[in-house]
Structure 1
Amino acid sequence: MAPATKTSLQGENDSDRVERLYQTVARKIAEMVAQNRHEPGWRLPSERELSEQLGVSRPVVREAVIALEVKGMVEVRRSQGIVVLPEPPHTMNFIGLGADIGPGPFELLEARLSIEANAAALAAERMPAEAMVELESYIDQMHRENDVLLLNENGDRSFHMLIARSSGNAVIASLIEALWQQRDNSIMWRKLHEHIHAPSIRPLWIGDHYAILSALRLRNAEAAKRAMERHIKNVMNELLEASENGQVEFVETQIVGRQGHSNRKSEESK
């Protein structure tokens, strides 16, 4: 993921501050909306198209769109893609767009990918047998937790935190705890999960946890590391696909609609 950029914001005492990359991209998308929203038939490109136009990764675009959702400028709707909401009565404050609402969801996942994978490798060598029994109980808990939005599931958090503590490294454990705390408090994380249909992806993620546990039981550090990496990458991919699928559905609906209209015109001309 690209590094943050420095920018000076009005009203701040510091001479400058680090602006997250998604905030910079959010500004560009907001300017695009302001310049084109009154053009007949205009709509925002898909996230994939925005990624290509702006020269940044899809996760960064996804985070920028979430930031604009939080600001009330756009909304991601299933089968419609990114919808520009009615113009607010006041002018969009681009300075306000830079207000830090915390790290983006993919920023957090990228950090977890690096730290938790290595924690799993250490835990494979150091975790006591009774802790592995406890891990399995957390997977059982995940089976029982049925929150539609995947936001209040304690089994998942407990599973990952036990592995962090079992690494035997207090610094690693505290870093992972901090990352999960930021996730739990993140308005952007919550907004992103509004687009996730939990029942369809829960079996995949639970399967990932069984794979991690199997590697730990084998005391195979490299396998445990790979299993954790695969799990977090699966989470990242599913979060991306959640928005992409909605936009693909919208395009397909538009194509089918145009085809139906064309067929009706052909029938009328006969």
Structure 2
Amino acid sequence: MPFQKVTPEKLSTAVTRQIEKLILRGILRPGERLPAERELAERLGVSRPSLREAVAELQNKGLLATRAGAGIFVADVLGNAFSPALVQLFAEHDDAAIDYIAFRRDLEGLAAERAARFASDTDLKVIQTIFDKMEAAHAKPNPRDEAQLDADFHMAIIEASHNVVMLHMMRSMFQLLREGVFYNRQVMFKQRLTREMLLEQHRAINTALQARDPRAARAAVTEHLNYVETSLLDQHKADQNEAVARQRFEHEKTR
């Protein structure tokens, strides 16, 4: 018969499973520091030896990392999504930015559709809170905070879609965005008109999500990323034109 005796789960195994789920669901993020051993053991209701055993297991799996004198951190599991050579290749070729936007358009459109259907009320409150912060940052002359909140807004939608594979895939993609590999978000905010347009596009996305309208949410994301793509292509063309004009100017000065 295919039956086996039921045995109680070891405490360390239960701790391992709990931490794994927190990482899988994106609640514990790469680089995040865990509480000190005594505090964490108390929170989990286990002995420190059981906690140490669980931590050792998670370190062996590459999910946690110890930093001397600093504590235990969630490992940079996203950093392995792309090899350094591929990241460098992305950064050196403009076509990668357009392909990146196309990828985002497809995935984020789906995520927005799912979020409108499956997001909890708290998920929608998070998205609304981030958008409110974007509105406040919009009044500042320096676009840095607004650009950061732009990325946070899109990640909140991914999180609200409640698909862990999509979550980790897009977090790795947004990490490259934050590092300026595909394009510098602040370039998008150079002109006041562009900032106004982007804010209104995010408002449309937020409105559709708060109304739980999947079709409108996906359409708003698509319209927004179409605009981003067009703006980047226009900027690229303008940069090329400026480079040619500078060559003509330098040549004219020497005649």
| TM-score, normalization by structure 2 | 0.52
Task: Return the offset for 1:229.
Answer: 0.8
Deviates more, 1:120-129 or 1:141-150: 141-150
Alignment of 1:130-141 (within 5 A): 130-141=122-133
Partner of 1:117: 109
1:216 matches 2:209: yes
Give the counterpart letter for 2:202 in structure 1.
H
CA contact (8 A) 1:148 1:199 kept: no
| TM-score, normalization by structure 1 | 0.49
Alignment of 1:217-232 (within 5 A): 217-232=210-225
Partner of 1:173: 167
- From the superposition, tell whether residues 150 and 241 of structure 1 become closer, same or farther in structure 2 (CA, over 3 Å): farther
How far, CA to CA, are the matches of 1:221 and 1:99 in structure 2?
34
2:183 is paired with a residue whose SS is helix
- From the superposition, tell whether residues 251 and 142 of structure 1 become closer, same or farther in structure 2 (CA, over 3 Å): same
Give the counterpart letter for 2:150 in structure 1.
D
CA contact (8 A) 2:143 2:189 kept: yes
- From the superposition, tell whether residues 140 and 218 of structure 1 become closer, same or farther in structure 2 (CA, over 3 Å): closer
Partner of 1:81: none
Partner of 1:241: 234
Q: 2:99 aligns with which of 81, 100, 107?
A: 107
Deviations 1:20-62 (A, max 9, x none): xxxxxxxxxxxxxxxxxxxxxxxxxxxxxxxxxxxxxxxxxxx
Task: Return the offset for 1:131.
Answer: 2.4
Alignment of 1:74-89 (within 5 A): none
1:127 matches 2:114: no
- Identical amino acids, percent of aligned pairs: 22
Q: Which runs of 5+ in 2 are unaligned?
A: 1-84, 91-95, 246-255
1:189 is paired with a residue whose SS is coil
- CA RMSD of superposed structures (Å): 3.3
Q: Which runs of 5+ in 1 are unaligned?
A: 1-97, 253-270
Greater helix share, structure number: 2
Task: Return the offset for 1:140.
Answer: 2.3
1:144 matches 2:131: no
Number of residue pairs the alignment of both structures matches: 158
- From the superposition, tell whether residues 147 and 176 of structure 1 become closer, same or farther in structure 2 (CA, over 3 Å): farther
Alignment of 1:1-270 (within 5 A): 101-103=88-90, 104-145=96-137, 146=140, 148=142, 153-190=147-184, 194=187, 197-245=190-238
How far, CA to CA, are the matches of 1:176 and 1:100 in structure 2?
15
- From the superposition, tell whether residues 196 and 171 of structure 1 become closer, same or farther in structure 2 (CA, over 3 Å): same
CA contact (8 A) 2:134 2:146 kept: no
Task: Return the offset for 1:247.
Answer: 6.2
How far, CA to CA, are the matches of 1:216 and 1:226 in structure 2?
11
